Structure 1
Amino acid sequence: MQSFLIILVMITSTTSLCDEDHSVIKKDHNNFDLNTSAFTNSDKDDCECKKKVCARKCCPMGYGYVLEERKCVPTPDGFNPPVWKEHKLLEGFNATDDMHFLIGKMNCTIEKNESRIPLEPAIDTYHLRSDGQLYVDIPENIPSAFIYGPDKYCIDTFVNEKNETQLNALICFVVKPDNNNYAMSSSCMLISCFFILLTVAVYAFLPELRNLHGMVLMAYLLSFFVGFLFFATMQILILKKEIIQRECTILTFIIYFSLLSAFFWLNVMCYDIWWTFSGKRATSGRHGSVMKRFYCYAGYAFGVPTILTVILAALEFSDLPMQHPLLPMLRRQGCFLYGTSKLIYLYGPIVILCVANMIFFTLTAIKIARIKKDTEMLRSKDSSTHDQDRKDTQRMNLSCSRFSLYVKLFAVMGVNWILEVVSSFYPEADFFWQFSDAYNVLVGLIIFIIFVCKKKTFKLIKKRVKDFRKANTNNNEVTNISNKIVTRWRKGERNASVETIKTSVGGNTRNTTNDIFQL
């Protein structure tokens, strides 16, 4: 019984705050200051906003706002602004009847660098929405679309010096300073691009590394290179304010495709190393079969990101309502993905790929442990197949080495992905952003160290350089001999004829007619 009385008191006390006397703004507007356009009674409005959708009007009903004098004056013109649902005008919708208007200018926060500014004449693309929010489109700005709640705007009939009236609005506009992180971030990514491109150049230079694993690695690095390069370009253009929304959207699609392709190629690496240890790989090492397998990998690593990019573009340019969770809002939120869209379209596929990679790595590690155990058991027994055992051990060591490299690469990119996710949740943490940007330099450098800075690779480079020098030396010798032959032929030495020119080079006599035509 006592608890029932307590609940009853709580209910009556709550409802008493929003009874009939407290839910309607008084018609005389005793609490409204016409000179400052401020209305102080907010408790009554809070109660009314629980019943109807609330919007904000700068002055009381029957008054208009004079911008030059910053005060409200009586006006005979009625106030009934058009209302839109998303981007469609609602025909026959009466705003004053179906919505509750809060009276008075909004409070802009100085600490957040908010300034109270009028929309027109600078901005003419805006409208009041059915949910009480004000939609403002600024084409030259990135992001171009802004949504203001009733606490950050007021709409009204504005009166000019000639006593002419027009619908206009005041908004709390935030002039954000340039993001200083862009300068460091773009520089870091460009440095990383240099090391990534250097790694690709080494693998392309050495024939021994242009096997299936090397081609997959080069495709992965080139995808990451394109993504980093265009991301740095976007940030530089934003920093210099030389980018428009259309260019920003195009760059977003390129970066999105490139980054996803890089992670799908990383998934290909993890799958391929698992396939190597699974025993299902064909024993044939023919070039045709290797290239066929690489083309299948490329179809997967480039095909799926292409499909996801097309889906992203289709949803962006679709007629989905603005509040739809699947709408990417690339043209409204700024350059690249942001917020929920980033979580769904970028981090979502990356999470799935990372989970798949960890599964492949776990299965591969288990298989390696079993193979090593079986190998040790065979070595402990007398066997006549030592040569075959030695070959199998060499292949095993090579595969384990590749597995170790891929694990290191996955760890490097995993840390980079974790930093990216955390930094997106704390955009104002400058120290963390600087740490994340510095790590972008380390990505390219660490990849270069893992795959290039090895004794075996240096030996291959040294051998390749020697082969080039030797080939150039032989070519120079052949060229010198040919020049001597042609010179002697022109001078007519030894009464040689055009048909048969015989010369002595190094003590040997030979018919050089064929030699000339073969050069």
Structure 2
Amino acid sequence: MFVLFLIITGLVCVNSTPCSRDESLNITTGITFENGSVLYDGLEYVDGTWYVLDIDGLDVRFGCPCIGRRCLWKCCGIGQMFLNRTCADVDVSEANPFNPPVFKGRDPVNVIAHLNFFYMPRQSCEMYLVDSNSPVEEIYLQENGSLLEIATNRPQWHPPRMFCLDMKLDHSSPKSRLVGGVCYPDSGSNDDSPGLYIAYGIGLMLSVPFLLATFLVYAFIPELRNLHGMCLMAYCGGLIVAYPFLAYLKLHTGRVGVAMTGCFVIGRNNF
């Protein structure tokens, strides 16, 4: 059992990374030093704050700049802002540098954003727009990098990785204003790593023989086939049938591998 624990722990550790992809930057072209640190774009990534992934047969190194730093996700690139609905290079003070006001709650604080935050590129999640020019919407960037959104007098707090900010200029206002893109809750949830899915599947499959042994003991000993024993047998029987299918799904992360008709048949039979 201890050896199995070590194997499962190893699988989880092998597939774990120090940060998620949305919190990572591609630093493959950075300079690697003997102590394991990587220097990229003037920023040092010490050993343990970067990782390597195999992408299309190539080793790509990713750094985690948000470890030990406050990160702020910028909707457009550096030196860009929204012109109408698209990001464009601009030469205006609002975007060079991007320096949104910082608050504590709804009270402004004397914090310079571009010195306090490390700007990250926009997340990959689907977003909805929050416009500070709207009469029913307000956004307040907090000192810790979170966002306070007030829509129709209802406050909502968003963690740093769930939104991006930038300036926007269009025909609806003569001046640029701050806008935010907020990830939809479903698309922003963190998923378990593939290693954990494998560990779940192995654990489920290892449970089946013991459930089967329990079922057989109660089935072959007449003294145990009372009401309590029959209920326990029914419970174990249901788990014996369900666990292999659940383990199959856990071991096939990202794809089911069963046709839709097969899914319907399995679901109906299990139910």
Larger radius of gyration: 1
| Larger helix percent | 1
Same fold (TM over 0.5): no
Greater relative contact order (CA < 8 Å, ≥ 6 in sequence): 2
Q: What TM-score comes out, normalization by structure 2 length?
A: 0.42
Q: What TM-score comes out, normalization by structure 1 length?
A: 0.23
